[in-house]
Amino acid sequence: MAKMMIERILEIMNQYDRIRNMGIIAHIDHGKTTLSDNLIAGAGMISKELAGQLCVLDFHEDEKERGITIDAANVSMIHNLDGQDYLINLIDTPGHVDFGGDVTRAMRAVDGAVVVCCAVEGTMPQTETVLRQALRERVRPILYINKVDRLIREVKLTPEAMQARFMEIIKKVNQFIYRYAPEEFKEKWQVNVLDGSVVFGSAFHNWALSVPYMQKNKISFKDVIDAYTTNEENAREILREKAPLHVVLLNSVIKHFPNPKEAQAYRIPHLWHGDLESEEGKALINADPNGPAVFVATKIVVDPHAGEVITGRLFSGKLKPGMEVYLLKDNNNKFRIQQVFISNGPKRELVEEVDAGNIVGITGVKDCFAGDTVATKIMQPFEEIKHIFDPVVTKAISAKKPGDLPKLVEVLKQVHKEDPSLKIEINEETGQHLISGMGELHLEVIENRIRREKNVDVVTSPPIVVYRETVRKESPLVEGKSPNKHNKFYIRVMPLKPEMLAIVRELPNQRVNKFNQDLINALQKGGMSYEEAKKVKAIHNANIFVEATRGIVHIGEVIEMVIDMFEDVMKQGPLAREPGFGMKVVLEDAILHEDSIHRGPGQVYPAVRDAIKQAMLQADPVLFEPVQVMQFEAPSEYMGAITKLINAKRGVVLNIDQDEYRAVIEAKLPVAETFGLSAEFRSATGGRGTFFVVDQLFEMLPFELQQKIIKQIRDRKGLAENQL
């Protein structure tokens, strides 16, 4: 990044009205990274001739090899509109469903998202998934319809047919926004051709058009069609000069995306559940640079030289090297910031001070994970970042050489920090560890990075599916006794109704230590009474804990220990030590010893844990398996082969859309049956088909497979016959 660019950025970083924080989101291969290249080239940071080829923000070796974005990447740049410089903090995100966690984390840092949609393919499954992730974080979208040149050159549509195609895409995007946007923004955030919140163009040929730009610069769609149908050699270069992509799109970004102060006014009450009238609450709402510094980490990279490099959003206050800050988790450990920097893809440009409202990086804070809050005072942290999909595929991973075992343990801890959507279980006694991810590709990429970037040779097992444990009926009241027999806990477990489960799945894991009206409102929407909603003390992995005791004098002193065990059992249930989901655990009564020494963790933990497990076992417990809704596309003649493949894998066809050329089949497949699906699908369609994951859900494992799978899991985990 040139020195002059840094100086221009530093001049603007403290003027929140001239800052825009934006992400680029899309389905895989719809052109996000090529678009990012052109925006960076437009800012003068790379050569325009190399834009689209360099893929500046795909700087990992495996990203270049596979031709896909795997990690979100940041860059800060300047754009001039009407003589005024604006700072654009940009995050380019992955499009493959296995790396959706990076999209979710990036959305915490930005206020607006450019939804890139291919003009030929239209809205695809992952377009909807990433847009849903953005809307859930209250990030405002605009639409960029890319690859318009293909409609002219390849599909050869008439202008009227092109217009109909655009309107179809816009309509689908708006329907999705209306469905998932917060109530107050369902209408306000609709994208519109006339106001410039819809942009058309070709990232590959570096041009774009919006209606306001066309009106102001006297350009029409006829110029675009002429550029691709005329024989003049430089016609496209003329179009690129008349309507440069970075100018048209970033003009739209500046006009439609809020500045940090505008965005935080409506985002903070949703993302932070502290007192909005407190000093830090007022500072967060107003993006106040003079308030306490509050920084939320969204990406961690473990650098061999700089240590943990943390990128995220500074919501209030200032950050500068040498400042003392707290990492707001368990022990609120204090650290001293060593460096503050802004990003240029893989490069870091050090700065002396940064104000609220910017996306920046810091070093010096240890044991930080994406979603953690770093602040200059001890306060309520931001809510946990909630991913749409859960890890459903697991592999055992171990070091090839016994001497590498300690190094592998450290590397796995690093990998978990860098990608918190992974789940890592470390067993230092056996040396065999478990790594769970979103899919086969996700785990394959992580394995390769451990080998190539972390220099540890590893051996992995075939993939294993992660199931879920739940109950089908209400249990009787179960008593749990402490080992000293002085404390008793009376617990009941029951399944959540489908409408409640749908709401709880969207809520982050949390302990409720004070009155939370937003949470109560959400639970009431699911059918819970106001009185019961007030008694909800914890939510963990789509399970609810309710403290419904009355008049128990010392309950406040043991409730945190009770919740510890609720979370423990929800992580490892009694059937096969698989995670629990979709349950309500109610503490109805308790008998506690007067003397605190007789009701410590050693007494409370086993009593509560055993009571919850026994209640589950008496409530008709069952295993649920992860199921993926998938969309298969291929020439029509392969439809029979595809449906045969789906049926062979315990799949269910949900919908078939077919014309004389192409078949689109939507189906549900158990994740356990999808291993090796890519190769089988390629074989069945002669390499001419594609498939995508649309959604992920859990459905009850067929009765005839329940005992077989439970036994397989218990044998794999080395559990004795009656061991809970």
- SS3 of 388, please? coil
Q: Residue 656's beta-bridge partner residues?
A: 665
pLDDT of residue 55 exceeding 70, the answer is no
The matching CATH number, chosen from 3.40.50.2000, 3.50.50.100, 3.20.20.70, 3.30.230.10, for 469-619 is 3.30.230.10
58 vs 509, higher pLDDT: 509
Q: What is the mean pLDDT of residues 682-711?
A: 88
Q: Please calculate the CA angle 692-509-514 and round it to the nearest 5 degrees.
A: 150
Q: Are 565 and 585 in contact (CB under 8 A)?
A: no
What does the pLDDT look like over 290-309, one tens digit per residue?
A: 999 999 998 888 877 778 88
Please give the Cα distance from 237 to 48 (Å, whole number): 12
The pTM for the full model equals 0.76
**pLDDT > 80? residue 76:** yes
Same fold, 3-258 and 623-705: no
CATH class of domain segment(s) 623-705: alpha beta
pLDDT of residue 428: 62
Is the model's pLDDT at 311 over the cut of 70? yes
Alpha-carbon distance of 161 to 167, in angstroms, equals 10
The confidence score (pLDDT) of residue 403 equals 84
Q: Which pLDDT score, from 0 to 100, does residue 47 have?
A: 44
List of long-range contacts for 219-224, beta carbons under 8 Å, 24+ apart: 219/243, 221/159, 221/162, 224/148, 224/152
**What integer pLDDT is reported at residue 277 of this predicted model?**
93
With residue 140 as reference, give the H or E element that holds it.
Answer: strand 140-146
Domains of the chain, by residue range, sit at: 3-258, 262-375, 393-466, 469-619, 623-705
Average pLDDT of the residues of the chain = 86
> Which of 36-45, 440-449, 511-520, 642-651 has the lowest average pLDDT?
36-45
Residue percentage of the chain with pLDDT more than 70: 92
Residue 57 has pLDDT above 50, yes or no: no
Segment among 86-100, 185-199, 554-568, 672-686 with least mean pLDDT: 86-100
CA pair distance 156, 696, nearest whole angstrom: 36
Q: Work out the average pLDDT over 467-477.
A: 96
User: Per-residue pLDDT averaged across 246-275, rounded?
Assistant: 94
Residue 621 has pLDDT above 60, yes or no: yes
Q: Specify the higher pLDDT residue, 429 or 116.
A: 116
On the question of pLDDT at 469 being above 70, the answer is: yes
3-state secondary structure of 11: helix
Query: 282 versus 329: which is more confidently predicted?
Result: 282
Q: How confident is the model at residue 568 (pLDDT cuts 50, 70, 90)?
A: very high
The CA distance from 709 to 576, in Å, is: 9
Q: Is the pLDDT of residue 94 over 80?
A: no
Q: What is the mean pLDDT of residues 213-230?
A: 87
Dist. CA 375–CA 300, nearest whole Å: 17
Please tell me the least confidently modeled range out of 52-61, 209-218, 237-246: 52-61
pLDDT at 653 over 90: yes
176 Rama sector, left if φ>0, alpha if ψ -120 to 50, beta otherwise: alpha
- Evaluate whether 669 touches 650 at the Cβ level (below 8 Å): yes
pLDDT surpassing 80 at residue 623? yes
Fold classification of 262-375 is: Elongation Factor Tu (Ef-tu); domain 3 (2.40.30)
| Domain 393-466 grouped into CATH 3.30.70.870 | yes
Q: Kindly list the distances between the CA atom of residue 584 and the CA atoms of 116, 566, 698, in Å, as whole numbers in the listed order.
A: 40, 10, 17
What's 458-504 look like in SS3?
A: EEECCCEECCEEEECCCCCCEEEECCCCCCEEEEEEEECCHHHHHHH
Is 80 exceeded by the pLDDT of residue 247? yes
For residue 65, what pLDDT band results from cuts at 50, 70 and 90? Answer: very low
CB atoms within 10 A of CB 279: 14
Give domain 3-258's CATH superfamily.
P-loop containing nucleotide triphosphate hydrolases (3.40.50.300)
Is the per-residue pLDDT at 63 higher than 50?
no
How long, in residues, is the chain?
A: 724
pLDDT at 432: 64
